[in-house]
Amino acid sequence: MEIANRYELGIVDIRNIIKMLDDVYGVDFKNHALTFFKRRVESFIKYHSFKDADGFIQKIEKDKDFFETFLKDICVETTEMFRDPSIWRLLKEETLPKNILTSPNFKIWLPEVTSGEELYSLAIILKKLKLLDNVQIIGSSISEHHLDRIRSGIFDPKKIETNDANYSRIFSEGQLSDYYTLKDDKAYWDVSLIESIKLTKQNIIFDDYPKGTKLILFRNQMIYYNQILQERFMKIMYNSLVPGGHLLIGNNERIEYWNSEKDYVLVSDSESIYKKRLS
């Protein structure tokens, strides 16, 4: 992405866009971090060559397919497979085997899967641990397009080099290419990895969510929320987890105003892993 001569929206434009999306599609972006939302919409408007905010609004309010494209582009794609390899090593060597083997009906939830790298990373580790059949995984997204893409297995071949390197930082045997194929300049995951994973479209305010989960992976998504939505989300995840269940958030995320000590035990500071207290 080059940012030279980037189109800039005014605050009134942003308010109009947020209101229109809520009025027409019932999708409420007002509690996303404002500068984040502004920047995403600006690059979307520039990419689609709209003259201004009004042109964008007129198009999107009449065109549901175009709105779906917008939803997909607003979601920040996961950067790579096994982002932060040390976390995935810890999951593989300790957190996953230790907890799954002692607990039946192990339910895992990824509240926003976007481009799917966290989901496929998790599935590959569980497959290698021979634990994929012992768990029930739910991946949700606000974007149907993202879910379709994950189902198809297609991913960006430009990421292969980074993905492969991260894999070798976690596993000494095998290679990541055991799990993907290249065909006509395109790259596809082995979709059998996700055949038992439940992929669901999620409302943006998550008024309905899975209950009784034992592990939630929600890394680097709350950085795009404001404080109101962060708090709401922390509550949802707390309610979703069973006592003793684990929560993973991003390395540089910290919910300051959230009383984490009362609700969770910090399992790993460096990897941001929390465990819900038993009582």
Partner 1 sequence: MYKALVIGGSAGSFQVITRILNSLPKNFPLPVLLSLHRLKHVRSGFVEALSIKSGIEVIEPFDKDSIKPGKAYLAPSNYHMYVELNKKIALSTEEPVNHSRPSIDLTFETAAQAYRDKLIGIILSGANRDGAYGLKKLKQLGGLAIVQDPNECQVKTMTEASLKLTTVDHIFTTQQIINFLQGLK
Q: CB of 76: closest distance to partner 1 in angstroms? A: 5
Tokens of 33: 């971090």
CB nearer partner 1, residue 86 or residue 99: 86
**What's the count of helices (H) and strands (E) in the chain, helices before strands?**
11, 10
The smaller minimum CB distance to partner 1, of residues 175 and 196, is found at: 175
We find the least distance from the C-beta atom of residue 156 to partner 1, in angstroms, to be 10
Task: For residue 9, report the phi and psi dihedrals to the nearest 5 degrees.
Answer: -95, 145
- What DSSP character marks residue 251? T
Q: Distance (Å, rounded) from C-alpha 227 to C-alpha 223?
A: 10
In the complex, the smallest distance separating the C-beta of residue 169 from partner 1, rounded to whole angstroms, is 7
- The alpha carbon of 265 is separated from its chain's Cα centroid by a whole number of angstroms, namely 23
Toward partner 1, which CB reaches closer, 252 or 259? 252
Q: How many CA atoms lie within 13 A of 94 on its CB side?
A: 9
Query: CB of 48: closest distance to partner 1 in angstroms?
Result: 17
Cα 207 to Cα 205: distance, rounded to the nearest angstrom: 6
Query: What is the number of other CB atoms lying within 10 angstroms of the CB of residue 241?
Result: 24
Question: In angstroms, how far is CA 25 from the centroid of its own chain?
Answer: 22
For partner 1, give the closer residue by CB, 114 or 140.
Answer: 114
Question: Nearest distance from residue 157's CB to partner 1, in Å?
Answer: 15
Contacting positions for partner 1 (CB under 8 A): 1-4, 33, 35-36, 39, 76-79, 83-86, 165-166, 169, 220, 222-224, 227, 250-254, 256, 270
Residue 187 or 222: which CB sits closer to partner 1? Answer: 222
156/208 with CB nearer partner 1: 156
| Start-to-end Cα distance in the chain | 48
Contacts of 138 by beta carbon, 8 Å cutoff, 6+ apart: 107, 108, 109, 110, 197, 198, 199, 200, 210, 213
Percent helix, strand and coil across the chain, each to the nearest 5: 45, 20, 35
Name the minimum Å distance from CB 253 to partner 1.
5
Question: Based on CB atoms, which residue is closest to partner 1, 252 or 279?
Answer: 252
224 Rama sector, left if φ>0, alpha if ψ -120 to 50, beta otherwise = alpha
- CA-to-CA distance for 140 and 182, rounded, in angstroms? 27
Tell me how far, at minimum, the Cβ of 221 lies from partner 1, in Å.
Answer: 9
Closest separation between CB of residue 175 and partner 1, Å? 17
If the CB atoms of residues 207 and 256 are measured against partner 1, the closer one turns out to be 256
